[in-house]
């Protein structure tokens, strides 16, 4: 890990060190676009659960508040802030500074190197270098990280100084960061035993279209829906997953159109879809996808860019995974099988463990809830 000295980092992040403003000749048109994801997870009753965020899907060259080689990921939370990336577009070289805050969470990973405190990242002296060849870091290990590069964004070059006083340079096509928090988003999804879902939105600003999708047995089904104003926020009761199978291509095109309608360039939208296709379209389960209102995005993730962009677009997608009562019952059965005390290797227990692994990062939360339900039945 390569960090500024703690004192310099703290002064910079607190604003006591000067952040260089753009020079007069840096006044060329600047466009900044951002996309990212807020993920949440709940049981069928709509109660949000604490789960483990993604961690091992990042290249080792990315930075974090814990050394990546330790294999110790960030602690879980009820909110996973996943892969926001900031793109810059300009036809003239300029120097920018960027500060992003996560007041209700912890910023856990980022690239290129930045000054870090728990709730803030500062990239100082970011060189935006159009028409230059840059060396983008790569590794043999596969990662969804690289799909975000498939845009026409202007390359970036940053410099930093580590604790030993040595300077280094890092290059990329975007600024990347992640985080985790424990707070509530104003979306609630409840699942009923007959396949119906109730969706509630209590945010101050309305939502546009949402997507309900289910991945089960290798089959994908989805529908686009909207919410209606109710006495306690925006609602949609008795929502059902359609009975007609769809393709990943159809869902990808639908989502890309949703993202471009919010201001992303087409290549950016497709890069985001490609980044999360295996998770959103491939992981077993039921989930809702939606775009957060701009005001809520700015409230949860205050962002400052200098020089001030002529255009700033921020598109944060909400992903909410919900367990159905049927799946909870199945998980209870599997956990009960694991609880059986049997000598030696037991094929049934091994099969139960393998099936539970399909829950991925939600395994710990789902297992704990199942164990609690089993205890109550005793």
The backbone torsions φ and ψ at residue 236, rounded to the nearest 5 degrees and listed phi first, read -150, 105
Domain that holds residue 339: 326-377
How do residues 214-248 score in pLDDT, each as one tens digit?
A: 999 999 999 999 998 876 679 999 999 999 999 99
Mean pLDDT of the chain: 89
Residues 234 and 334 in one domain: no
The answer to whether the CB of 79 falls within 8 A of the CB of 318 is: no
Residues 32 and 98 in one domain: yes
Count up the domains in the chain and report the number.
Answer: 3
pLDDT for the residue 160? 84
Asked if the structure places residue 72 within a domain, the reply is yes
Q: Is the per-residue pLDDT at 172 higher than 80? A: yes
| Residues sharing a CB contact under 8 Å with residue 156, sequence separation 6 or more, in sequence order | 88, 112, 126, 127, 128, 129, 134, 171, 172, 173, 174, 175
Which of residues 181, 206, 221 is at a domain's end?
181
Q: Is the per-residue pLDDT at 12 higher than 70? A: no
The residue ranking higher by pLDDT, 163 or 52, is: 52
Q: Is the per-residue pLDDT at 6 higher than 90? A: no
Mean per-residue pLDDT for 81-108?
96
Poorest-confidence range of 7-16, 60-69, 239-248? 7-16
Instruction: Provide the pLDDT confidence category of residue 327 given band limits of 50, 70 and 90.
Output: very high
Residues 28 and 105 in one domain: yes
Half-sphere exposure of 52 (CA within 13 A, CB side): 17
Asked if the structure places residue 82 within a domain, the reply is yes
Residues 176 and 201 in one domain: no
Asked if the structure places residue 98 within a domain, the reply is yes
CA–CA dist 181, 82 (Å, integer): 11
pLDDT for the residue 66? 66
Which of residues 181, 209, 231 is at a domain's end?
181
The answer to whether the CB of 187 falls within 8 A of the CB of 40 is: yes
Mean per-residue pLDDT for 19-26?
42
pTM of the model: 0.89
Residues 155 and 31 in one domain: yes
Which of residues 115, 150, 181 is at a domain's end?
181
Residues 226 and 358 in one domain: no
Residues 62 and 171 in one domain: yes
Residues 162 and 211 in one domain: no
Residues 32 and 139 in one domain: yes
Mean per-residue pLDDT for 62-81?
74
pLDDT for the residue 67? 52
């Amino acid at each position: 890990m390569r960090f500024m000295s703690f004192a310099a980092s703290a002064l910079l992040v607190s604003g006591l060190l000067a952040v260089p403003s753009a020079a007069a000749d840096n006044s060329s048109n600047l466009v900044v676009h951002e996309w990212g994801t807020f993920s949440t997870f709940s049981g069928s009753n709509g109660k949000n659960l604490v789960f483990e965020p993604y961690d091992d899907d990042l290249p080792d060259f990315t930075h974090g508040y814990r050394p990546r080689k330790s294999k110790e990921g960030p602690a879980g939370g009820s909110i996973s802030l996943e892969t926001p990336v900031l793109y810059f577009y300009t036809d003239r070289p300029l120097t920018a500074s960027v500060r992003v805050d996560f007041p209700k969470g912890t910023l856990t990973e980022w690239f290129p190197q930045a000054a870090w405190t728990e709730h803030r990242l500062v990239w100082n002296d970011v060189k935006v270098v159009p028409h230059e060849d840059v060396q983008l870091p790569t590794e043999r290990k596969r990662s969804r990280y690289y799909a975000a590069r498939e845009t026409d964004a202007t390359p970036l070059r940053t410099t930093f100084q580590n604790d030993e006083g040595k300077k280094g340079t890092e290059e990329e096509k975007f600024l990347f960061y992640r985080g985790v928090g424990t707070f509530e988003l104003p979306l609630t999804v409840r699942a009923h035993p007959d396949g119906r879902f109730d969706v509630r939105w209590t945010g101050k600003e309305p939502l546009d279209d949402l997507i309900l999708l289910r991945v089960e047995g290798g089959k994908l089904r989805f529908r686009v829906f909207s919410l209606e104003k109710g006495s306690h926020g925006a609602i949609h009761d008795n929502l059902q997953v359609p009975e007609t199978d769809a393709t990943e291509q159809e869902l990808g095109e639908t989502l890309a159109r949703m993202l471009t309608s919010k201001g992303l360039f087409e290549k950016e939208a497709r890069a985001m879809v490609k980044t999360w296709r295996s998770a959103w379209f491939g992981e077993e389960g039921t989930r809702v996808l939606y775009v957060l209102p701009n005001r809520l995005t700015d409230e949860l993730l205050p962002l400052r860019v200098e020089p001030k962009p002529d255009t700033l677009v921020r598109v944060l997608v909400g992903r909410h995974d919900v367990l159905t009562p049927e799946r909870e019952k199945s998980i209870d059965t599997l956990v009960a099988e694991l609880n059986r005390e049997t000598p030696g290797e037991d094929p049934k227990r091994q099969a139960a463990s393998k099936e539970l692994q399909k829950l991925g990062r939600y395994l710990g939360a789902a297992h704990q809830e199942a164990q609690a339900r089993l205890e109550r039945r005793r």
